[in-house]
Amino acid sequence: MTAALRPPCASGMFHNIECGPPVTSPSPPTENLGFPMLRGANVAGFYSSRRSLVLHCGRSDSLKRIKVKENTGNWFKPIKAIVDSDSSWTEERGAALSGTNLRQMSNVGKSTNILWHACPIQKQDREQLLQQKGCVIWLTGLSGSGKSTIACALSRSLHSRGKLTYILDGDNLRHGLNQDLSFKAEDRSENIRRIGEVAKLFADAGVICITSLISPYRKDRDACRALLPKGDFIEVFIDAPLHVCEARDPKGLYKLARAGKIKGFTGIDDPYEPPCSCEIVLQQKGSDCKSPSDMAEIVISYLEENGYLGA
Ligand SMILES: Nc1ncnc2c1ncn2[C@@H]1O[C@H](COP(=O)(O)OS(=O)(=O)O)[C@@H](OP(=O)(O)O)[C@H]1O
Ligand SMILES: Nc1ncnc2c1ncn2[C@@H]1O[C@H](COP(=O)(O)OP(=O)(O)O)[C@@H](O)[C@H]1O
């Protein structure tokens, strides 16, 4: 007895696939099986390459990965299948059995059965095109320390050298992507996490991404560092003491915070954790305070020395 198996996705690919008796349990992890064994199974997802087709099938409790080799023509005909009823199944094992590289479905956070889709054009190809290395320059410091000013000076100077940059500024991103977030600790963390992920994409695009965020918590900055390949996260601490920032107070926010009109303001009644070890410290202390463009040059010489301004 046969019944047509239709995957929930709207692909016409499986129209000619038929299935028969149910899978008997327990089934051996590796066995020659055909589509007749698929009766009653739901196809939750699939992926295919030129040479092979992999179905993810399951009743409700567990998904099984079933690899089917391709026949000729437009249809995938079941000449051999591997049912994975064994939790020790690995991608390497599958590849060894089939002679092809399988890609693995994952569950990430609340996303289930997702597949990484790779593109043949990689970071290195884009870097070659741009003649630079993608990285993240993470500016951290108190409000009024000079993050935005230095970010702009850096971007301007790199741009004039023909380097592609993009600034992710905390204030600006709170106008859009992060407008749902407040300044509570967990929202600041989420703000940093999202911007870290966006910065990672920019770096992967080959861009020199400059972030300008207070990013007051060490663990959040470290989590962003961990997203990137070693060396590509360049943490720059703008070391301007509170009294300097407060004296500048360009937006009048310190004054409001001191008056109790803004609650949880960084440096006043909310913490700032300076980096323990970071790539660059820009000191803004005493009469020796350098101009924003001098500070940008310090960062640029770091990039030069570490090979980020060439491919
Ligand atoms: N409570 C409180 N604490 C600190 N800062 C505050 C607050 N409320 C508003 N602002 C303004 O928001 C800017 C900081 O946003 P960020 O996204 O960089 O902050 S954080 O990294 O999530 O802590 C920050 O901008 P900068 O002065 O450029 O740092 C402030 O102008
Ligand atoms: N290196 C510097 N020397 C003197 N003043 C600076 C320097 N960097 C920034 N400033 C001034 O400090 C104020 C705050 O700078 P801003 O870039 O807005 O800080 P942040 O983005 O950290 O809040 C601005 O008025 C700016 O002109």
**142 Cα nearest atom in ligand 2:** 22
Please give the pLDDT value at position 195: 98
User: Which residue in 30, 49, 58 sits closest to 102, CA to CA?
Assistant: 49
Asked if pLDDT for residue 223 goes beyond 80, the answer is yes
Is residue 5 within 8 Å of residue 14, measured between CB atoms?
yes
Please give the pLDDT value at position 74: 42
What's this model's pTM, rounded to 2 decimal places? 0.74
Tokens encoding 132: 């630079």
Per-residue pLDDT of 175-184, as tens digits, reads: 999 999 999 9
Pocket of ligand 1 (CB under 6 A): 143-144, 147-148, 170-171, 174, 183, 188, 191-192, 213-216, 251, 253, 262, 264-266, 270
ipTM of model: 0.99
Q: How far is the CA of 238 from the centre of ligand 2 (A)?
A: 10
Please give the pLDDT value at position 118: 86
Tally of residues, the chain: 311
pLDDT category at 106 given cuts 50, 70, 90 is confident
Among 142, 149, 171, 298, residue to substitute to test ligand 2 (most atoms within 8 Å of Cβ): 149
Residue nearest to atom 2 of ligand 1 (CA): 265
**Ligand 2 near 144 CB (within 6 A):** yes
Angular region, 12: left φ>0, alpha ψ -120 to 50, beta rest: alpha
Per-residue pLDDT of 233-279, as tens digits, reads: 999 999 999 999 999 999 999 999 999 999 999 999 999 999 999 99
Q: Which ligand has the shortest distance to the CA of 256?
A: 1
Q: How far is the CA of 144 from the centre of ligand 2 (A)?
A: 6
pLDDT category at 117 given cuts 50, 70, 90 is confident
Per-residue pLDDT of 59-101, as tens digits, reads: 445 556 665 544 444 444 443 343 444 444 344 444 443 444 4
Is residue 150 within 8 Å of residue 282, measured between CB atoms?
yes
Per-residue pLDDT of 17-44, as tens digits, reads: 333 333 334 433 323 333 433 434 455 5
What's the mean pLDDT when you consider all of the chain?
78
Q: How far is the CA of 201 from the centre of ligand 1 (A)?
A: 23
Residue nearest to atom 22 of ligand 1 (CA): 188
Tracing tokens 């491919």 back to the chain, one arrives at 311
Asked if pLDDT for residue 280 goes beyond 90, the answer is yes
Asked if pLDDT for residue 287 goes beyond 90, the answer is no
Distance of alpha carbon 72 from its chain centroid, rounded? 38
- DSSP letter for each residue of 124-159: HHHHHHHTS--EEEEEE--TTSSHHHHHHHHHHHHH
Please give the pLDDT value at position 21: 35
Q: How far is the CA of 258 from the centre of ligand 2 (A)?
A: 20
Give the dihedral sign, CA 13/18/24/28.
negative
How many other β-carbons are positioned within 10 Å of the β-carbon of residue 116? 9
Is residue 42 within 8 Å of residue 22, measured between CB atoms?
no
Instruction: State how far the Cα of 254 lies from the Cα of 74, in Å rounded to an integer.
Output: 68
Please give the pLDDT value at position 6: 32
DSSP lists the bridge partners of residue 106 as: 114
Higher-pLDDT residue of 208 and 12 is 208
Distance of alpha carbon 144 from its chain centroid, rounded? 29
What are the catalytic residues? 215
Instruction: State how far the Cα of 247 lies from the Cα of 144, in Å rounded to an integer.
Output: 9
**178 Cα nearest atom in ligand 1:** 17
Please give the pLDDT value at position 20: 34
Among 138, 244, 266, residue to substitute to test ligand 1 (most atoms within 8 Å of Cβ): 266
Instruction: State how far the Cα of 206 lies from the Cα of 214, in Å rounded to an integer.
Output: 24
Strands (E), 39-116: 42-48, 52-58, 63-69, 81-83, 105-108, 111-115
Asked if pLDDT for residue 215 goes beyond 50, the answer is yes
Instruction: State how far the Cα of 240 lies from the Cα of 253, in Å rounded to an integer.
Output: 16
Distance of alpha carbon 152 from its chain centroid, rounded? 25
Please give the pLDDT value at position 175: 97
Tokens encoding 54: 């992999």
Q: How far is the CA of 146 from the centre of ligand 2 (A)?
A: 3
Please give the pLDDT value at position 45: 57
